[in-house]
Amino acid sequence: MSKLMIFYINYESSGARGKKVAFCLPGSLGSAKTDFSPQLASLGSKNLEVISWDPPGYGESRPPSRDFSGNFFVRDSQVAANFMKVVLNYNTYSLLGWSDGGITALQMALSYPERVEKLVVWGANAFIDEKDVKLYNNIRDINKWSERMRKPMENLYGMKYFKSKWEEWIDAMTLLSFRDGGYVLKGDLSTISCPTLIIHGKKDPMVGEYHAQYLHENIKGSQLYVMEDGKHNLHLKYVDEFNKLVSDFLHK
């Protein structure tokens, strides 16, 4: 017997509905507001609708609580594709994926190539290795985070839910690192055919540059843009540069 999964999905949008739409996918425990407010505020236009969601179990897309069992990236990609087609009635769109959202975006490009017009990912990886797991465990204790990094998540979730789900995420990522050689995608990156832009922050403490290089080398015809001063949240810190880069890519 198949299991029917029903989710309440919260989303935000800006710009005019028309020929072009960009669907923004947040990072781990992220939401439309926490992860894409600057893009929702200034990237949308009369020629581009910008949409972002709170993935199942994140932000205001609760209940149910977040489920990190199995390969949740594949599951998120399925829910996201159905959301865009069934709820918002979009057959084609571009994807902007950050961090975990970048992995989901890559999976959507693999699973639904006919729907993805263009792909932009940053702070994303296709595999999880020992260095990644070590890094995740180094930031397991949220009490050691700076207040600036911790406060938005505490405000969104409350300390108990945030702490619990953050630790569950680290445990889930560790488990994924032992499966299929740590490769978290279902499909071969070389089959991605849509125009792809990979952005990497040179000073990203969460995702090494070798991940961006791997994506660039394995996605045919992809472009790689490195922000010399960029960190993991480069789209939030360098809003104007990021938005122009993405806008130019989506409109050309």
Cα–Cα distance, 39 to 152 (Å, whole number)? 17
| 235: annotated active-site residue | no
CB 136 within 8 A of CB 125: no
Q: Which of 28, 99, 177, 222 is catalytic?
A: 99
Cα–Cα distance, 52 to 62 (Å, whole number)? 16
Q: Which of 100, 204, 211, 235 is catalytic?
A: 204
Tokens of 63: 């209940």
CB 18 within 8 A of CB 49: yes
Q: Give the SS3 label for residue 233.
A: coil
Q: Which of 13, 100, 222, 232 is catalytic?
A: 232
Cα–Cα distance, 214 to 124 (Å, whole number)? 11
233 contacts: CB under 8 Å, gap ≥ 6: 123
Neighbouring C-alpha atoms within 13 Å toward the C-beta of 15: 24
| 232: annotated active-site residue | yes
Cα–Cα distance, 159 to 150 (Å, whole number)? 9
Catalytically active residues, by annotation? 99, 204, 232
